[in-house]
Structure 1
Amino acid sequence: MPAISDLVVRSGLDLILVAGERGSGASIRWVHTSELPDPAPWLSGGELLLTTGMGLYGGPEVQGEYLRRLISARVAGLGFGLGFGFDTVPEALVAPANRCDFPIIGVPYKTPFIAISEWVSARLAEDSLEEAQATVSVHERLAGLVAAGSGPADVLEEVAALTGGWAILFDLRGGVIARAQGPHTVVPDDRKVFATLPQALLEVQGPAASSELSPQGAQVGTAVMAGTRQEGVLVFGQNRRLGPQDRIVVRHATTVLGLLLSSRRAVIDAQRRVTGDIISEGFSGRLARGELERRLELVGFPPGAEVTALVLEPKDATGDDALDGYAAGVDDWLGLHCAGGVRTAVFGERITALVQHETPHILAETLQAEFGTARQGEVRVGVGESVAPRSMRRSYLGALFALRATPDERLVAGPRDLGSYGFLMSTQSRPALESFVRSVLGPLVTRDLERASDLVSSVGAYIEAGGRWEAGAAALGVHRHTLRYRVRQAEELLGRDLTVAENRLELWLALKAQEILNE
C-alpha cells in the first residue's frame, strides 16, 4: 500500500507535509472525504481523511478534539484543503500532530480531492496486481517442487530463498520435520520457538495462525492442515516486520506442506496398518516363534535385541477413528523418544506398542505425563518386562495384567504390580494353566455353556467383593438374592463351601488363570 510520504513526493500534486513527518511512513488503505465535526464513527482505520475544515470553525479546542478523534480511529493521516475556510492548517492541529507523529498534508486550492483519490486508487490497483503476479510466481515455484517429488525440507529451502528469512516445520509434539534459513539469518532455538506457540494453535478447533513481534524481529506460526486433520505447524520468521511477499510465500508454503504431509501420512498409515497386524498377531500368540522373529526383523526388531510391550488405556478415546488417531499420536511421540524400533497397534479397545528402550518404565511415565493432559484426556499405561522378540506376548500380558492388578488411580503399572498374575504367568505353562482351570472351574464352565447361567462371573464377583452379597450383586447389576442363589448352585456343582477361605483362594487363582488364558 502507498505511504503518506509516497503521496507527497511522487504524486506531482504539489502536496505539502505540514506535520507528523516521523509518521509519514503510514500506509494508506483508502481515501475518504468528510466535513463532519466527528467522522470517527464512519472510519475503520488506515484511511487518508480529506477535509476543507468546514466543521472546525469552533476554535483551537474544537480542532484539538477533532485531531484526537482521528488518532483514536487509527486514521493514516489528514489531508487539509487550503483556500476554502483556512489559508493555512490551524496551529491547534499542527502542534499536537507533531507531538503524536500524526501526518497532516496541506492540499493546495488548485488540487482537487478526487486527484488524490485517483492517485491512491491507482497505486492500490498496482499493488494488487503485483501481489497477484507474486502469488502466481510463488505458486508455480512451490508447485514445481511438489511435481518434482521434493519433500518438506526442499519447500522450506525455497521459502528461505524467496524471503531471506527462516522457517521451521514442527510436528504437533514439537519434533522438527524440516528447517531452513536464508543467508545472514540466525534461526532461534527450536525448543524456544515451539514453546512460544499458543497451545490452541496445536488443536484442530484452534486459530489457524499466530504472530509475534519483538525488537529481534517478527515470526508467524500457521497450522498445516491436510483436509480436517492437522499435520504440523509452520513457523516463519524475519529480523524485521513481515512484508506482503513474506505473507504470500508463507500462505502458499502452508498449502503445499499440507499436501506433502498428507501424502507422507498416507504412507505412514499404510505402514502402520501392516506392522500393526504383525504386532497384534505377536501379542495374541498366533505366530510360531520362527515366523514371529522373521516378521519382527522385517519391521525393525533384530532377533538379539530385547523389546518391551506397552499397553495404553485412554479414557476418552472410544471408537475406531479415535483410537487410530490416538495410536498415530503415540507412534509419532515414541518415534521421537526411542533410539531403537517402535511399532504401535490398536488391539481391541487398547493401544499397544512394542519398543526398544533402555529404561522402558521411565519412558512409560514420560509418555503418560505427555498424553495424560486435559487436552488428551486421562490415560493409564502398563509396562511389560523386557524380553527377546519371540517372547513379546509374555511382555504384553505382563503390561495388560499389571493394569488390571492396580487401582484406576495408578496411572503407570509394571511387572512389580502383577501380584498373583505374575505368579501364575511365571510358574505355569499354558497347558498347566488350562488343566488347573478345568479341574477347579470345569463344572461351572460347563453349566454356563449349557444354560447361560453366569455362574463363573457370579462366583468371581462374590469373591472379589470379599464375600459381601450387596457389593457382589452391585458389581453384577443383579439383586443380592440372585447372587446368593447362583453361588449356592456353584457350591453344589463344585462340592465346595465358599465361606471357607482356602476354597475361595483356589477359585480366585483359577479365575485369574482363566483371564490369562482368555487373552
Structure 2
Amino acid sequence: MAVTVGELLAMPHLQMSLHAGARGLDREVSWVHPSDLPNPWAWLASGELLLTNGTGLPSDSPGQASFIERLAEAGPSAFGLGLGTGGPPLTRALTDRADELSLPVVSVPYSVPFSAVARAVADVNEREGARQLASVARLYALLRTSMARGLSGPEMFDRLGRELDARLYLVDPETGLSLFDEGPETRFADALAAEFAAHSQAMPGVLRLRRRDGDGRWATALAVAVPGDQPTALVAEPTGEQPPSLGLLQHVATVGALELAQLAADRERRRRRGADLLLHLLERRLDPTAAEHQLADSGIAPADSVLVLTQAASDGIADDIHRRLSRPRVPHLLLRRDDSLHIVLEDRPELLEQILVGSSAPMGVSDRICTAGRVPEARQEARWALGAAKAENRRVVRYGDETALPLPRTPAEAQVLVSRVLGALMAHDAEHGTEYLRTLRVTLRRNRSWQLAADELHIHKQTLGYRLRKIEQLTGRGVTQTDHIAELWFAIRAHDLVHSRCPVRG
C-alpha cells in the first residue's frame, strides 16, 4: 500500500503543513510530480502529489478556484506549494474549494527541497512498484486469454476495462467515433474531437477530457495516444472514484496498437472487395439483381450515390482517401485504374470534402447513379465533368453544372455532339480505311506530345503532322486552340458512350 498524504505530513523531517482538504488525508501518493506549468493537470497521473513553486498559479481568487477544480479532475493525491519561491499567496477561494473537493493542499518550507519529499515517497512505495507490476501482468494475461478465446475487439477492451475500473474505447480523435464497427461510442466524442482540433490535428501523449452530465456536474475522462501511423486515442471513462493509472493505460494503448493492425488488415480486405465489385460493375460483368444485392451489402444505395473521378498518381493517395472514408465508417467503393481514382459514395457535400482534403487535383462528379446497371454511364458523366474541371481550372465540377463546355445529358445528345464534331472524320475513316479518329484520340491522351503520340501509333512524327492537318481539314478544328481541343476531347468522350457500353480507356 502506498504512503498517504497524512503519513507524509507526519514525517517531521519534511516539515509540511496542511492548509485545506483535511478529508483527503487518506489519499495514497504514488509519485511526486514537480511542475510550474499553468496547466499541470494535462501531465499529471492519478494519485500523484503535485509540487509547485507557484509561478504557474493565478494570483486572483476566481483563477485559483478554477485552477484547483481542474487539478482535482486529474485525480491527484494532493497539491503542494513551495514557500518563499515567489509564487502568489493562496486565496480563500482556493482553500474553500479544496475543502469542498477533499483535495489536500499542503506547503513545503523553503529549507526542504522537493527532492526530499520525492525520496520519502519513493522509499515507502517500493512495495507499490511490485503491485503495479502485478497489475501489468494481469492485463497481459487477460489479453492472452481474450485472444485465445477469439474475442472481438470490443469484447476484449470491455474485459480490460473491468480490470481497470473504466470503460475503454479505441477512437478516431478527429471524429470521436469508435474504430470498431460494432463498438460502443464514448460519451466524450465531441470533447475529444475539439481537443484534437485545438492541437492542430495531432494527438498528444495524454488529454484530460471534460463534459457536463445531465445534472450539470463535470464528468472527466482520459485520452491516451495509441502508437501507430494514424492518430488514434484510447479513451478511458472511470467507473470508480479515481481514474485508472496512466502507466497502466499506456500498456493498454500498446494493446490498442495491435488491434489497429488487425483493423487495418480488415479495412484493406474490404477495400479489395469494393474495388473488385466496382470493376465488375464498370465492365458489366454482374447480373443486375446480383449487383444490386452486392451494393446493398456494401452499404451503397445507388439512388443516393454518385461516382467521383479524380487523379491519383500513386497508391498512397488512394490509401489516404480510403482511410479518411473508412474511419468515420462511410460506405464506399474505391478503384484506382490508369492513374485515375473511381469512388462511389453517397451524394453528400461533406463526403466530397473528405476526398478533396490534402489534394489539389480536380474532381468530376456524376449524376446520381440510380441503378447498378448505370455505373458505366455514371463514369462517363464523371469523365466529362472532370474534363470541364481541368479545362476551366476548377476544383469540382458536377455533371449538369453550368460550364463553357458541352456536356451531353443523354446518349441521344452525345450522338448529336459526335455527328457534329466527328462525323466527317468517322465517315472518312470508314470509306478509306484510315485511322484519323484513333490518331486524334492518342494525340489528345498524350497531351498533344507529337513524340509520344507517334511512338504509340508506330508512325513517324512527319506522318503524324500530316494526319493532324487532315483532321483539321475534316473537322474544322485543330489541336492548338483551347476551345477546339475541348470540343474534340468531349466529342471523343461522347463517342465512347454512344459506341461502347463500357467506354474506352483514356
Check 1:508–1:366 CA distance in 2 against 1; reply closer, same or farther (3 A cut): closer
Aligned-residue CA RMSD in angstroms? 5.3
Q: Counterparts of 1:363-374 in structure 2 under 5 Å?
A: 363=348, 365-373=349-357
Instruction: Give 1:222 shift.
Output: 2.5
The total of aligned residue pairs comes to 405
Q: C-alpha separation between the residues in 1 aligned to 2:415 and 2:475?
A: 29
Instruction: Give 1:279 shift.
Output: 0.6
Which residue in 1 is equivalent to 2:399?
Answer: 414
TM-score by length of 1: 0.60
Instruction: Give 1:6 shift.
Output: 1.8
TM-score by length of 2: 0.61
Which residue in 1 is equivalent to 2:132?
Answer: 131
Question: Which consecutive residues of structure 1, in runs of 5 or more, have no partner in the other structure?
Answer: 32-44, 50-65, 73-99, 108-114, 182-186, 462-471, 477-482
Contact 1:310 1:383 in 2 (8 A): yes
1:209 aligns with 2:209: no
Contact 2:302 2:369 in 1 (8 A): no
1:398 aligns with 2:371: no
CA-to-aligned-CA distance 1:350-385 (integer Å, 9 cap, x gap): 332234x5xx2xx1x222334444x66676351333
Q: C-alpha separation between the residues in 2 aligned to 1:136 and 1:348?
A: 52
Which residue in 1 is equivalent to 2:264?
Answer: 265
Q: Counterparts of 1:135-214 in structure 2 under 5 Å?
A: 135-171=136-172, 172-177=174-179, 189-199=187-197, 206-212=203-209
Check 1:21–1:195 CA distance in 2 against 1; reply closer, same or farther (3 A cut): same
For 1:234, give the aligned amino acid.
Answer: L
Q: C-alpha separation between the residues in 2 aligned to 1:460 and 1:251?
A: 54
Q: C-alpha separation between the residues in 2 aligned to 1:487 and 1:106?
A: 93
Instruction: Give 1:393 shift.
Output: 0.4
SS at match of 1:235: strand
1:446 aligns with 2:432: no
SS at match of 1:420: coil
Instruction: Give 1:458 shift.
Output: 11
Contact 2:170 2:178 in 1 (8 A): yes
CA-to-aligned-CA distance 1:263-315 (integer Å, 9 cap, x gap): 232123123213302312422x3x3463x65355345369996474321426x
Check 1:497–1:439 CA distance in 2 against 1; reply closer, same or farther (3 A cut): closer
Identity of aligned residues (%): 11
Q: Counterparts of 1:68-83 in structure 2 under 5 Å?
A: 68-69=84-85
1:319 aligns with 2:305: no
Instruction: Give 1:234 shift.
Output: 2.2
SS at match of 1:207: coil
Q: C-alpha separation between the residues in 2 aligned to 1:151 and 1:143?
A: 13
SS at match of 1:311: strand
Q: C-alpha separation between the residues in 1 aligned to 2:387 and 2:323?
A: 25
After TM superposition, the structure 1 stretch with the greater mean CA deviation from structure 2, 380-389 or 264-273, is 380-389
Question: Which consecutive residues of structure 2, in runs of 5 or more, have no partner in the other structure?
Answer: 34-48, 54-81, 89-104, 212-216, 454-460, 497-503
Check 1:447–1:241 CA distance in 2 against 1; reply closer, same or farther (3 A cut): same
Check 1:307–1:116 CA distance in 2 against 1; reply closer, same or farther (3 A cut): closer
Q: C-alpha separation between the residues in 2 aligned to 1:16 and 1:232?
A: 42
Contact 1:455 1:486 in 2 (8 A): no
CA-to-aligned-CA distance 1:302-347 (integer Å, 9 cap, x gap): 9996474321426xx64113322323323454x44x6xxx422223
For 1:420, give the aligned amino acid.
Answer: P
Check 1:237–1:125 CA distance in 2 against 1; reply closer, same or farther (3 A cut): same
Instruction: Give 1:167 shift.
Output: 3.5
CA-to-aligned-CA distance 1:99-140 (integer Å, 9 cap, x gap): x84145999xxxxxxx99986443231121111111111221
Q: C-alpha separation between the residues in 2 aligned to 1:348 and 1:139?
A: 47
Q: Counterparts of 1:113-132 in structure 2 under 5 Å?
A: 120-132=121-133
Which residue in 1 is equivalent to 2:279?
Answer: 280
Which residue in 2 is equivalent to 1:380?
Answer: 363
